[in-house]
Every structure is written in C-alpha cells, then in structure tokens.
Amino acid sequence: DQQVKQNSPSLSVQEGRISILNCDYTNSMFDYFLWYKKYPAEGPTFLISISSIKDKNEDGRFTVFLNKSAKHLSLHIVPSQPGDSAVYFCAASGDGTSYGKLTFGQGTILTVHP
C-alpha cells in the first residue's frame, strides 16, 4: 500500500525553464510534507517543507504547493539549473506520535540539460 506516490519516474528539463515535480498521497492524517534531494552516492538532503495549514511555501528558486482536497503536492524549481539534476523524494508525516516517521514516495529523477 503506497501511501505516497510519485508517478513520474523521471523528468527532463532545459536549463532556465521550470521543473515541476508531483506527488500524491492517500492518507488524510498526513499533516506535514517535505521534499528531499539526493545525489548519487550521497544521503538525501532536506530541501523544503510545508505544513497542511498552508497551501504554498517558497524558498528561493523552490516553491512547494499543497492541494489538500486533491491530496496532491508539487515542487516547482524556477529557473532550473544543471546542478539541480538529482533524485527528488517527497515525504509525508503525521501519525500523531513524536517519532517523526516519514513515508517516502518512489522518487523522481530530474535531469536539467545545459
């Protein structure tokens, strides 16, 4: 039972254009969502997050949008740069404990071409 899904395994974008990565979830208990970025042979690094009480959060070139009614979130990267090429994971939390368990999606490989 995949509670967090990233249905696009890969995305290819030209440098300077917008990258949009999508994520869907099924568990309505989730109240906090995160995006992580992972380069090969490295651990994931935190990118940006959003609480369920918001519908948008911005940090520089990165913006995350949350549509609670559709159980959908997206990460926008504008403008995209070759250094953004990595695997992007969305994750969700909110099981009511303080353990901070995250449920991850399958990941989307982003390739930004110069």
Partner 1 sequence: DVKVTQSSRYLVKRTGEKVFLECVQDMDHENMFWYRQDPGLGLRLIYFSYDVKMKEKGDIPEGYSVSREKKERFSLILESASTNQTSMYLCASSAPSRFSTDTQYFGPGTRLTVL
The string of DSSP codes covering 9-77 is: SEEEEETTS-EEEEEEE--TT--EEEEEEE-TTS--EEEEEEETT-SEEEETTEEEEEETTTTEEEEEE
Identify which of residues 12 and 45 has a Cβ nearer to partner 1 in the complex: 45
Q: Under rule CB under 8 A, how many of the chain's residues touch partner 1?
A: 32
Least distance from partner 1 to the Cβ atom of residue 15, Å: 26
Range 10-69, binding partner 1 (CB under 8 A): 31-32, 34, 36, 41-46, 49, 51
Identify which of residues 12 and 14 has a Cβ nearer to partner 1 in the complex: 12
- Sequence-distant contacts of 42-48: CB under 8 A, at least 24 apart: 44/89, 47/75, 47/88, 48/75
Identify which of residues 15 and 95 has a Cβ nearer to partner 1 in the complex: 95
Tell whether omega for the bond before 40 is within 30 degrees of 0, i.e. cis: no
- Interface mask (CB under 8 A) for partner 1, residues 81-110, using x and -? --------x-x-xxxxxxxxxxxxxxx---
Identify which of residues 27 and 79 has a Cβ nearer to partner 1 in the complex: 27
| Contact indicator for 8, 21 with CB cutoff of 8 Å | yes
Q: Which residues bind partner 1 (CB under 8 A)?
A: 4, 6, 9, 31-32, 34, 36, 41-46, 49, 51, 89, 91, 93-107
